[in-house]
Amino acid sequence: MKSFNLLEWALGHRSLLWFFMVVFLVAGTMSYLALGREEDPSFTITTMVINAQWPGASAEEVSRQVTERIEKKVEALPQLDYSRSLTVAGQTTIFVNIGDTTKARDFKST
Q: Supply the CATH number for residue 95's domain.
A: 3.30.70.1430
Give me the pLDDT at residue 46, please: 82
Strand pairing partners for 96? 48, 83
Residue 41 scores a pLDDT above 90: no
Residue 3 covered by a domain: no
CA torsion 73-71-66-107 (nearest 10°) is -60
Residue 29 covered by a domain: no
CA 82-83-87 angle, to 5 degrees, is 160
The stretch 4-27 carries a mean pLDDT of 94
Give me the pLDDT at residue 25, please: 98
**Number of structural domains found in the chain:** 1
Give me the pLDDT at residue 110, please: 42
Tell me the residue range of the domain where 68 lies.
47-107
Strand pairing partners for 85? 94
Residue 74 covered by a domain: yes
The enclosing H or E element of 31 equals helix 14-33
Residue 55 covered by a domain: yes
Count of residues making up the chain: 110
Residue 72 covered by a domain: yes
Residue 75 covered by a domain: yes
What are phi and psi for residue 36, nearest 5 degrees? -75, 140
pLDDT tens string 51-100 = 999 999 999 999 999 999 999 998 888 888 889 999 999 999 999 998 87
The stretch 13-17 carries a mean pLDDT of 94
